[in-house]
Amino acid sequence: MVRLGVNIDHTATLRNARGGGEPEPLIAAAMAELGGADGITVHLREDRRHIKDRDVVLLRSSVNLPLNLEMACTKEIIDIARNILPDMCTLVPEKRAELTTEGGLDVAGNFEKIKKSVSRLMDKGIEVSLFIAPEEEQIICASKTGAKFVELHTGAYADAGVQQHKDELNKLFIAAQTAQQNGLIVNAGHGLNYRNILPVAQIKGLYEVNIGHSVISRALYTGLTKAVSDMKALLAIASGAAQGI
């Protein structure tokens, strides 16, 4: 079954709106774990818009699940990751110049910089994933950086209207296959929700999805534990469907 990484950034966004201490991302992580999350994801942005350094430190020392740190490919943030030692770092673009057409990391255009960053992280025993658009050139370049994982950007699929939906899904299927043929383990994320997850979760060999906004939004109504277990239930259905059950 596809694993579920829950991105809890938005709890920090809400906290920061008042500048106080609630809601506490650490509690969100514990509730996500109770709901069956397989991992916790946070994005330490250069402007610290939501998650702060203290959040990452606390999560690292208290969360039992694998911790995935999304981050820009900059020296400052890479040095922080090398100190905190998350289980995985997912390199994401934060500046326009680092973007490909569909909003993923432009590995092809920033190859040497990304390759060096991957090896600085892997030297410390941290797994690395590259968040890329489902494009062949990016996948091939990603496979040459030394990273073992890619996270396919599902934003275009999530935003597609009825006409383009099938095409965008196909791009993801083909990209996942290409990545696997090039030795990469494939994750997916961005814009995934309770309505659009099923076809993505049936991508052959998909390892993990990272989902934030839709799960945290549902949590306002149902509580986070239930919101996570509802998503896990859909992933279980997708795994049954993929096996023809």
Q: Interface residues for ligand PXP in 87-106 (CB under 6 A)?
A: 90, 92
C-beta of residue 152 within 8 angstroms of C-beta of residue 172: yes
User: What region, left, alpha or beta, does residue 159 occupy, with left being phi > 0 and alpha being psi -120 to 50 degrees?
Assistant: alpha
Is 70 a known active-site residue? Answer: yes
The burial class, CB within 10 Å (0-12 / 13-18 / 19+), for 76 is exposed
Place of tokens 């939501």: 50
Q: How far is the CB of 241 from ligand PXP (least distance, A)?
A: 22
Using the rule CB under 6 A, which residue among 43, 50, 171, 218 binds ligand PXP? Answer: 43
Q: How far is the CB of 243 from ligand PXP (least distance, A)?
A: 26
* Contact partners, residue 141, CB within 8 Å, separation at least 6: 107, 108, 111
C-beta of residue 46 within 8 angstroms of C-beta of residue 63: no
Using the rule CB under 6 A, which residue among 35, 114, 189, 200 binds ligand PXP? Answer: 189
Closer to ligand PXP by CB, 102 or 151: give it. Answer: 151
Single out the segment in contact with ligand PXP by CB under 6 A; choices: 135-143, 198-206, 207-215, 221-229: 207-215
Pairing verdict, β 185-189 and 149-153:
parallel
Closer to ligand PXP by CB, 95 or 240: give it. Answer: 95
Single out the segment in contact with ligand PXP by CB under 6 A; choices: 27-35, 49-57, 204-212, 221-229: 204-212
Is 165 a known active-site residue? Answer: no
Is 43 a known active-site residue? Answer: yes
Q: Would you count residue 196 as binding ligand PXP (CB under 6 A)? A: no
Q: What is the largest CA-CA distance in the chain?
A: 49
Q: Would you count residue 148 as binding ligand PXP (CB under 6 A)? A: no
Residue 135, CB-side half-sphere exposure with 13 Å CA sphere: 17
Q: Would you count residue 38 as binding ligand PXP (CB under 6 A)? A: no
Q: How far is the CB of 146 from ligand PXP (least distance, A)?
A: 19
Distance CA 69, CA 67 (A): 6
Q: How far is the CB of 76 from ligand PXP (least distance, A)?
A: 18
- Give the gyration radius of the chain's Cα atoms: 17
Report the interface residues with ligand PXP, using CB under 6 A: 7, 9, 43, 70, 90, 92, 131, 151, 189-192, 210-214
